[in-house]
Each structure stands twice: as structure tokens, then as C-alpha cells.
Structure 1
Amino acid sequence: PGKAIRRFVGTVTAVDGDRFQAGLRDPVTDEYRLADMELDQLLPHQAAALSAGTQFLWTLRQTDQWDARTRHSRIRILERAPLNIDQLRAAGAAITKERPARG
């Protein structure tokens, strides 16, 4: 709900107790900043799996209703690709072999 007013791509640098630290980059302005964030912004299973190097999208949304302005913070963990480079090369080679020659 609400309008996105800011977005950041984040990379976790450390997890400490009920908090985590991250580097944040604004994809529009390329602005970079460090942040100290609370783990309770994540679902319990996400917080338990969080480690240095985890990447996420952080969106700040704003809703204006009547005489009140509300801001919401949403963090979405970016899942890593399930394939490594060797798997990608093997898949590419297999596709090349299956493709009929044109001409």
C-alpha cells in the first residue's frame, strides 16, 4: 500500500543480535550509505538465515489519508541464482548442440 518514495539495494555487512548492518545503494542516484537495521523487519525464517553478503531490496512507502501520513518499510530478500557458472556453461553448451544449424 502507498506510493514508493525511496528504494535501495542493500548488502548485509554484519548481523549482531537483533540488528544487522548493511550498505545501501540508491539505484537512481547511485547514493551510497551505511545503515543499522532491526531484524524484526524480516520474517522469522528470513532473519534466521540472514548473513553477511545477503542482498535485499528496501522500499520506503508513504500513504496519505485524511490528516495522517504513514510511512512503511519493506525489505525483500533477493534470492541468489540456483546455478553456478559451471552449470550455466554446461546448459549453454547443451542448448548449442540441440539447436539445428541455420542456413
Structure 2
Amino acid sequence: ALATNIAVLVSFSLLRKKLKYLGGRDFLITAIKSGVAAVLMGIVAYFIFFGIIGLVPSLGVGAMKKLIVLLFTVGASAIFYGIACYVLKVKEIEMLVEYGKTKLNRG
């Protein structure tokens, strides 16, 4: 997520030179919030992965153990990232949540 943020910032700055106005302030605020969420997610992922590897020796040995732990870590980290973006009030996540609410209320 952090590498994606950096790539988007570079692309945005190049595009802004061509089109002049793209709402840079809103974009910058969203990029900062997303970057903070990405850094927090990375920290959480690190502790989840190495915490589970150390705590669950009965999971097997070698690559299979690491694969299971990695899959769990990726899932938990993605959920954490979404929650962190929601807590930080990233507009796009709030829009997604509202869209989901309207779909659930309609059904």
C-alpha cells in the first residue's frame, strides 16, 4: 500500500502539470491519511506474522506453516487497513460504506 501511495503521488504530480487543477489539497489529505494507515498496517502485519510464527509451533514446519501464517496475516492486515482508513475518515472509504449500507437497506 505504501508503494502504491508513492506511485500515485508521482503520477498525480505529473498529471497536475498537464491539467493545472485537480483538487490537490483534497488529494494530498487523502494520500497522507492513506499513508498513515499503510504504515500502521505494516507494523500490525509485522507483529501478527512474527507473533504467530513464534506462538504456534504445532502448525507444522517449513513452508506450509509460513504460508498459512502469511495468508492469515494478509487477511488480517487488509481488514486493519480498511478499519484504519475508516477511522481516519478517508472519503472514499466512507463513500464505500454508505454505498454498502444503501444496498443492504434496499435488499
TM normalised by structure 1 equals 0.28
Higher strand share: 1
Whichever structure has more helix as a proportion of its residues is 2
Decide which structure has the larger Cα Rg and report it.
1
Task: Compute the TM-score of the two structures, normalised by the length of structure 2.
Answer: 0.27
